[in-house]
Structure 1
Amino acid sequence: MRPDPITGPTGTPPAPRFGANYVPSRGWFYSWLDYSGDDVRRDFEDLAGLGLDHVRVFPIWPWIQPNRAIVRQRPIDDLLDTIDAAAEFGLAVSVDFIQGHLSSYDFLPSWALTWHQRSLFEDRLVRDGLTQYVDTLARAVGTRDNVFALTLGNEVNNLWPTNTTTAAASYDWARELLETARAAAPDKLCLHSVFDDAWYKPDHPFTPAEAVEMGDLTTVHSWVFNGVSRIDGPLGPATISHADYLVELAAATALDPDRPVWLQEIGVPEPDVPPGDAATFVRQTLAHVLTNPALWGVTWWSSHDIDRSLADFPDREYDLGLFTVDHRRKPAAEAIAEIIAGPHPEPVKPERTLQAPVDLLAEPERRDEVAPGSAFHREWVAARVSGPVGISVGRD
């Protein structure tokens, strides 16, 4: 039996769930190369102290599978220790497989690069290697009761266009790997994750169909540096309602009207949202999205800042954490802790619904008509000021 998509495998806690995308405070994801269970437990103590109930963790694919014929056990054991550490602090775990893309960096194994250059999504040899990797990892983490979900990877559509693909190929790629994960870990949620170019860019080869038809629920990533914050500023209606807009758009696009939507990433990016506005952004954004009946839960990006001694990250990536690298709570963390302690807004069925100009499943080439700044988006934002607003795609 598959886990309940609202409550997870244990039946608790009730929706909505609150969690964090785990970025290690010491050494970023390079810490997997010099693993310290003590450091992980110190980080998880921070997160449990906020009242969070889950974390999303990111093993690095090429460090586990450095050769197509080798899947290393030691990093898998380190991942299992991370999962066990989360359990010690009452945290459920979602595991992403293909990293893939993290904080602006791409991590791909050498056997898919250099003179071996092959498309992740189209080449049969690479896909066979990935199938072995996903099967092995899913079987390993599937042994842990506090693992509730498996996601193919973090925003895998960021790996295009360096890995050529088409809409048909990317869809088939995700379908195949989800089937592999589901067979290996049949009692876990199996999910597919894409960033919002799949929702808003007309020529993008990953489409909304992948988000709403693949996996056991829909995941969305809401980032206001996609142009939203330029519409009306860091605390303007368009900015603080974007997460709700994307959740509502995803819910409206799905063929299943009861399909939940996981706000799997959201954060406070500078300079789009200045540090002094961070807590207000959190409160107002969550006040909007928590009223959406489709919402499964919210997972903040990220748990901890990136140490500025590490070079060459885009500047906004360093300060996205709920905690500093020395474990101090930031204003966003305080705001989230207050919201978790509640009471938080109850889901509200919208009294007003706006007709979208396009069905994204039927005409993905018209995605720009619902993108931030489009006429429809601006109409929805204006209406949302007065209360929750639904979206209809006018599907027969």
Structure 2
Amino acid sequence: MGTESLSAAKRTGRLEWQPEDAGSEYACSVMPGVPLSPDCNVQAQRGGQALPLRSALTAEDYANGIIAGDRVTLSRAITVIESNAPKHFELGQEIIQRILPYSGGAMRVGVTGVPGAGKSTFIEAFGTYLTKNGHKVAVLAVDPSSSLTRGSILGDKTRMENLARQKNAFIRPSPSGGSLGGVTRKSRETMLLCEAAGYDTILVETVGVGQSETMVRQMVDYFLVIVITGAGDELQGIKKGIIELADSILVNKADGDNKMKALMARADYEQILHYLRQPTEGWKTKAYTCSSITGEGIPEMWSVIEDFRENVTKSGIFIKRRKEQTIEWVRAMAGEYLQNRIARCAELTKCREEIERRVIEGAITPTSAAKALTASMERLLFTNARET
């Protein structure tokens, strides 16, 4: 706002700048919209023609479109699955029920690593290699959500520009929603939809914060940990938890002057695996190197994954993992259902606020508050259950 306009605003008592006040001297101005007919159900207008709203699809429409490989229908179905609106829950479950017989055939690969390890760059190079060799690849890239605004940038599709241009590739960035490990609570359903759409390889990229990566392990067949040299990753590799989860460790950025360092790092990880990781039946975890820039090591990494699937299928580990993941899925959804019930209970919300107030005032200890809150949950939830 200019000085003269500000003075005028002070004189008139209008200190808030109004968009319609903008004149030709301002860079920002408000353009009048196109008037619509009161009985016209439109989403927008273009060239004076009304554009109708997208028609609502039934569960059968969604299922048929997904099975036919229509990416637009697949995207819309994933939006339904990811929605927190109660009205979308039943529709989403009906869609999953219809496509379930067509799912389960893809190779599910989880990709994790510390920030800066080059996960997205690797996935783009790896996915492009697969699509050029006749595979259909779906990438579920999870972006960390802000703890303040709950928003996410969702820029992975922009960063994977080359892969996004491949007709046999489908990239779906999704907000983590604050879930541990950076995996959205709807990622399992999304994988089923992508499999039903004909994608034979599912790549799940995690946030890579180094916490609760067990959640990723519980939803993929093959778990790949990407590391780099010179960024403290040698110490990360010594952490027993991540080593026990990994099916392979990949030292990325093995090119140029860094190639020799990458080979040395690979040898170090091989020693770590020897002491910390016992061979799985039919598979032994090893370390490898690759360059996402030059492509060196990318074809070899896919050969490793194919060997893994063949070996663990023969040993029965593949089917065993899938069954364990299904049970874990049920337990996770049951826990989520309870959390949603608790969040929607108005009486419990009021009770929780009162208990929290007493804790802040020092009237009760946090431990006593937790016990009181749990007792209130049991009383209210089970009372409501008996009444219904």
TM-score normalised by structure 2 residue count: 0.30
TM-score, scaled relative to structure 1: 0.30
Structure showing greater relative contact order (alpha-carbon pairs closer than 8 Å, 6 or more residues apart): 1
Who wins on radius of gyration, i.e. which is larger? 2
